[in-house]
Structure 1
Amino acid sequence: MRRDERLEVLDGLRGLAIALVVLFHLWQKSWWNPLERLGILECLPRRGYLGVEIFFFLSGFCLYWPLARAGKWPGLVHYLSRRAFKILPSYWLCLVAALVLLPEPGVREKPWLHLLSHLSFLHPLTFETYYSIHGVFWSLGVEVQFYLFFPLLAVLYLRRPLLGPILGWFFLTLLALAYRQWVVGTGTEGMGYTMRMNQLPAFLDLFGGGMASAALVRVLRERVKPHAAWSLLCLLGLAVVLWLFKSFDGHDQEHNGEMNHQALVRLPLAVALLVTTVGGALSPLGCGLPLRFLALVSYNLYLWHTLVATLLQKAMGITEPWKVTDMGLRVRFTLVAWGVSLALSALLTYGFELPILRRGQRTRATK
């Protein structure tokens, strides 16, 4: 395996993460679980929101991986321009579409508040703007806030290529645990509790775990020969991830139980994802290859799938999915929503996102 070869395991985890998120949101809108007869896998649509945690881990990995390989910081302008070309055009397009196609009453009353908070990615900081305009945008706010925090970590970590990210993960984990404990102590209820538990400090152990994984993979790929046995480690990590998903059963009956358990499993999830990533990166078997297409279109699929599903709900007259007795209607809705979302995401990825990214790369190359 060449040392510059694409890390297939990242495609696998990214494809898994987006599949989980879409499964969850379509289950919410149809109340049909396509995996309900598949044993332990039946929990995946109900817990698919954990795909966002996987995305945050992957973000930490992918941000730090090129720096770990190069051994140097590329400069703030290069870093910010690369992030901007990747994130902003597709985000702005979906933001406009959501405002036009699904305008919310609260947004119409205070349009500038909601628009400016989303353009500045500060919307996850207040309850009024947290889920406004388009619900899935909350995670983009958290992501971009970490982008601004990342350069400081990267410069410090590069001084000690392996020890720095590992110690950094330790301290970021302490910060995340302390913050989550503080949220529990505030006594906040309902969506306010969810909002606070889903803000940037609460995810620092996942972001930090991704960065530590990148540093570890970088060192191991230089010192350890690829071997199929590493695939077993990858599978072990995935088994733990599945077990963590299943561990939620019953906690949704407790007071704040599901959110409390979600916060509790973030650190074990980061460890399991590290094991999965290291095993997959050192395996020569191309772990994750079947999910490469989903991984490629994942950003646009994440942005657009709930917008497509909501419009489809209206077109099919599904206002209260839990009251729908026609199983055929539930199945048709889910299949059509998947099909349209995938087609639209592929169109936008190949026709909009990738051309802009290539243009950005040419622009940076000429400077």
Structure 2
Amino acid sequence: MVRIKNTTPLQRKMPYYNVLDGWRGFSILCVLAAHMLPVGLSSWHLNQTIGRVGMSIFFTLSGFLIATTLLYHPNIQNFIIRRVLRILPLAWAFLIVALPIVRASSSDYLNHFLFYENLLPDSFTSVTGHYWSLCIEIQFYLFIGLLFAFFKEKGLIFIIPLCLLFTSFRIYFAEPSSHVTLFRVDEIAVGCCLALVKENKLGTTLPQFFRRINPFIPFILLPFFCHQALPTLNYFRAYVAVTLVAATLYQEKSPLTQWLKLKILKYLAKVSYALYIIHPLTYHGWLGSGEGIVKYAKRPISFLLTFGFAHLSTFYYERYWIDLAKRLTKSQKNLYLIPEKSIFKEKF
């Protein structure tokens, strides 16, 4: 049986890994391209592929952040306050604007605002289809929060068998790519496992492997594990994605790692949450109408609107709520859940 090595004091400053900002910036570029641009011929299904690549990396980063945060600052009350005030203000503000535009039903309001619409068939609207990932994130926050509340740091060890169990469910029920939490949450769970590895709680075998593997190998392989023509490979894309992130995390001098430190990727990481939430509304209606050249000729307008509103949201609207969360949790015994220099500077 694997045992967690309990070496974490109550208060430590969380490390900052700038390569992970690079991956976050890269992942949001993948998602925007998948949703807003024609990536090759439609028969190649590359839009779906690049979208899955982006989301697999994003989920890995999210799981890594969640677990590392709890390892360094094991305060569930702070965890809830920080996550709620980081995610809900923009997510709910978008819904307040978007749902009336698409004339959503009253039941749509309920399952969107409570983030369980990914569990219901055909419950998304034309501008909220991307909220499936937010639902999975929030549901996982609740799960890991309860797990940590009952078992503390040792509870994180349960993530390892659960990760394998979730993958086995996907295989058994033939769900290579799903928006239902049970069939997608292994992509977050592997990120939690990586956090345990990085904190030296699961031995030295995996760190040695991550230091030796060429990061370009999982980088090249990941699109194949995300393509819908290869459903069997899709069951294991979470493990390729986590290997990719881990290899760059352990290999500072790798060319891929150096590329991920570009300033533009760091900026994209900061505004990534707002970009993700806002972008579907910028090509709704007239801006998304037409076929071929007519439709995509309007895309520059959509991109300008997306980045403009995302910048304003990140540095003004969301900043207010992040600062409020800091004030509310500052007096707590374990200090900040997410310090000024956290794993991701944008603190999603």
User: Which TM bucket (shorter chain)?
Assistant: 0.7 to 0.9
Moved more, 93-102 or 279-288: 279-288
- Indicate if the aligned counterparts of 2:17 and 2:249 stay in contact, CA closer than 8 A: no
Q: Is 1:172 matched with 2:182?
A: no
Q: Is 1:17 matched with 2:27?
A: yes
Partners of 2:182 and 2:198 lie apart in 1 by 25
Match of 2:61 in 1: 58
Choose from 157, 163, 179 the match for 1:198. Answer: 179
Q: Is 1:49 matched with 2:39?
A: no
Match of 2:121 in 1: 127
Q: Is 1:158 matched with 2:153?
A: yes
Q: Which has the larger share of helix?
A: 1
Moved more, 93-102 or 17-26: 93-102
1:205 CA drift (Å): 2.7
Partners of 1:44 and 1:32 lie apart in 2 by 6
Match of 1:39 in 2: none
Q: Is 1:305 matched with 2:295?
A: no
Q: Is 1:26 matched with 2:36?
A: yes
Partners of 1:282 and 1:366 lie apart in 2 by 41
User: What are the Cα deviations for residues 231-256 of structure 1, in whole angstroms up to 9, with x where unaligned?
Assistant: x959933541332204556x54xxxx
Choose from 218, 239, 247 the match for 2:199. Answer: 218
Task: Give RMSD over aligned pairs.
Answer: 3.5
Match of 1:113 in 2: 107
Are residues 270 and 286 of structure 1, via their aligned partners in 2, closer, same or farther at CA, if it must alter by over 3 Å? closer
1:346 CA drift (Å): 0.4
1:138 CA drift (Å): 1.2
Are residues 341 and 280 of structure 1, via their aligned partners in 2, closer, same or farther at CA, if it must alter by over 3 Å? farther
> Where does 1:1-367 land on structure 2 (aligned, <5 Å)?
6-27=16-37, 31=38, 45-50=47-52, 51-70=54-73, 73-74=74-75, 76-103=76-103, 107=104, 111-130=105-124, 134-154=128-148, 156=151, 158-159=153-154, 165=156, 167-184=157-174, 197-219=178-200, 236-246=214-224, 251-252=228-229, 261-280=233-252, 287-290=260-263, 291-311=265-285, 314-315=286-287, 318-319=289-290, 321=291, 324=292, 326=293, 329=294, 332-366=297-331
State the SS of the aligned residue for 1:219: coil
Partners of 2:126 and 2:45 lie apart in 1 by 28
Partners of 2:212 and 2:280 lie apart in 1 by 31
State the SS of the aligned residue for 2:129: coil
- Indicate if the aligned counterparts of 1:235 and 1:276 stay in contact, CA closer than 8 A: no
1:177 CA drift (Å): 2.2
Are residues 208 and 157 of structure 1, via their aligned partners in 2, closer, same or farther at CA, if it must alter by over 3 Å? farther
* TM-score normalised by the chain length of structure 1: 0.73
1:358 CA drift (Å): 0.6
- Indicate if the aligned counterparts of 1:61 and 1:210 stay in contact, CA closer than 8 A: yes
State the SS of the aligned residue for 1:127: coil
User: What are the Cα deviations for residues 303-352 of structure 1, in whole angstroms up to 9, with x where unaligned?
Assistant: 111111224xx147x33x3xx2x4xx565333332222111100111110
- The gaps in structure 1 that reach 5 residues or longer are 37-41, 185-192, 224-229
State the SS of the aligned residue for 2:16: coil
State the SS of the aligned residue for 2:122: helix
Partners of 2:139 and 2:215 lie apart in 1 by 28
Q: Which amino acid letter does the alignment assign opposite residue 79 of structure 2? A: Y
Q: Which amino acid letter does the alignment assign opposite residue 49 of structure 1? A: G
Partners of 1:78 and 1:178 lie apart in 2 by 33
Partners of 2:258 and 2:220 lie apart in 1 by 21
Match of 1:190 in 2: none
Partners of 2:253 and 2:97 lie apart in 1 by 38
Are residues 266 and 209 of structure 1, via their aligned partners in 2, closer, same or farther at CA, if it must alter by over 3 Å? closer
* TM-score normalised by the chain length of structure 2: 0.76
Partners of 1:248 and 1:207 lie apart in 2 by 16
- Indicate if the aligned counterparts of 1:43 and 1:246 stay in contact, CA closer than 8 A: no
Are residues 21 and 202 of structure 1, via their aligned partners in 2, closer, same or farther at CA, if it must alter by over 3 Å? same
1:7 CA drift (Å): 1.2
- Indicate if the aligned counterparts of 2:111 and 2:117 stay in contact, CA closer than 8 A: yes
State the SS of the aligned residue for 1:129: coil
Q: Which amino acid letter does the alignment assign opposite residue 91 of structure 1? A: A
Partners of 2:247 and 2:96 lie apart in 1 by 40
- Indicate if the aligned counterparts of 1:11 and 1:292 stay in contact, CA closer than 8 A: yes
User: What are the Cα deviations for residues 253-282 of structure 1, in whole angstroms up to 9, with x where unaligned?
Assistant: xxxx65x54334233333333333333599
User: What are the Cα deviations for residues 110-155 of structure 1, in whole angstroms up to 9, with x where unaligned?
Assistant: x221111112111111103245661111111111100100124445
Partners of 1:280 and 1:206 lie apart in 2 by 24
